[in-house]
């Protein structure tokens, strides 16, 4: 799929930029910024970058079935996983949107959509901690970078291109109704068999993670019932005291 990359030194947020300009931007455009003044994370949180963060968002303006939007974070996460794997880095995928390296978060994504009568645009926004040398105290126990874990520097342009190559290939298959990417997600699923709390619409559900279903929902066994849940924040039970930090 043909895509152009537009690069900015600073933006408030690459995802906000696309949201505000999607009508005039080309399908599949990739917007990258070296610094974001108002980077956004999931669940209304902010995303703070530092030197070495690779940040970009993609605009997709295809006709897509709304019921398939739930799969986008996993498709995007899988593409990060595969692009890093091609560079010798073995990560796992923490449903729905984090990529973990040595049990710390090395990448996160937020997938937003603009829907009117139909899906007008889908905007995956991706942040990868590549060459960051440190993290501020409040996140340093949970976040890491490729450099901190592997003691190597990486070429951020190359990683972006590797990601885009994988993403557009996987997306093309997805668009044609092939959801086999889910099997690779399942094979590299960080949470499998772990005991977690899932904060689901302000209710904490405790259980054991059993898998991911074909709609991209997490399956949790709780009080002998199998629950299929489509959103929420998952915390490992042994990290529970860190919840909301």
Nearest to ligand BTN of 75, 110 (CB atom): 110
**DSSP conformational letter for 234:** E
Candidate ranges 11-19, 59-67, 165-173, 185-193; the one touching ligand BTN (CB under 6 A): 11-19
Does 218 bind ligand BTN (CB under 6 A)? Our answer is no
Nearest to ligand BTN of 8, 173 (CB atom): 8
**Is the CB of residue 131 less than 8 Å from the CB of residue 146?**
yes
Does 57 bind ligand BTN (CB under 6 A)? Our answer is yes
Shortest Cβ 66–ligand BTN spacing (Å): 22
Beta bridge partners of 10: 35
Does 25 bind ligand BTN (CB under 6 A)? Our answer is no
Cα(40)–Cα(109) distance, integer angstroms: 9
**Is the CB of residue 210 less than 8 Å from the CB of residue 226?**
yes
Shortest Cβ 42–ligand BTN spacing (Å): 4
In terms of Cα–Cα distance, which of 196, 164, 165, 170 is closest to 182? 170
Does 13 bind ligand BTN (CB under 6 A)? Our answer is yes
Does 58 bind ligand BTN (CB under 6 A)? Our answer is no
Does 164 bind ligand BTN (CB under 6 A)? Our answer is no
Between helix 72-85 and helix 156-175 the angle, nearest 10°, is 140
Cα(232)–Cα(199) distance, integer angstroms: 5
**Is the CB of residue 144 less than 8 Å from the CB of residue 106?**
yes
Q: What does the per-residue mask of binding to ligand BTN show for 113-132, with x meaning CB under 6 A?
A: ------------xxx-----
Which positions lie near ligand BTN, rule CB under 6 A?
A: 13-15, 36, 39-42, 45, 47, 55-57, 108-110, 125-127
């Amino acid at each position: 799929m043909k895509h152009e990359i537009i690069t900015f030194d600073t933006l408030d947020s690459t995802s906000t930029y696309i949201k505000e300009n999607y009508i005039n931007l080309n399908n599949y455009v990739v917007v990258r910024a070296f610094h974001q003044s108002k980077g956004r994370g999931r669940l209304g949180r902010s995303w703070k970058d530092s030197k070495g963060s690779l940040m970009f968002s993609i605009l997709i303006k295809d006709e897509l079935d709304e019921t398939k939007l739930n799969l986008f974070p996993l498709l995007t996460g899988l593409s990060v996983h595969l692009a890093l794997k091609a560079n010798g880095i073995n990560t796992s995928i923490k449903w729905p949107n984090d990529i973990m390296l040595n049990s710390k978060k090395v990448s996160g994504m937020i997938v937003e959509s603009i829907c009117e009568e139909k899906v007008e645009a889908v905007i995956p926004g991706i942040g990868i901690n590549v060459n960051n040398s440190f993290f501020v105290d409040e996140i340093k126990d949970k976040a890491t970078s490729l450099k901190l874990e592997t003691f190597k520097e990486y070429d951020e342009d190359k990683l972006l291109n590797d990601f885009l190559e994988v993403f557009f290939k996987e997306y093309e298959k997805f668009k044609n109704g092939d959801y086999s990417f889910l099997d690779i997600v399942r094979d590299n699923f960080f949470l499998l068999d772990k005991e977690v709390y899932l904060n689901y619409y302000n209710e904490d559900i405790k259980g054991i993670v059993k898998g991911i279903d074909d709609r991209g929902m997490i399956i949790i066994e709780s009080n002998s019932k199998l629950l299929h849940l489509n959103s929420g924040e998952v915390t490992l039970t042994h990290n529970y005291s860190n919840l909301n930090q």
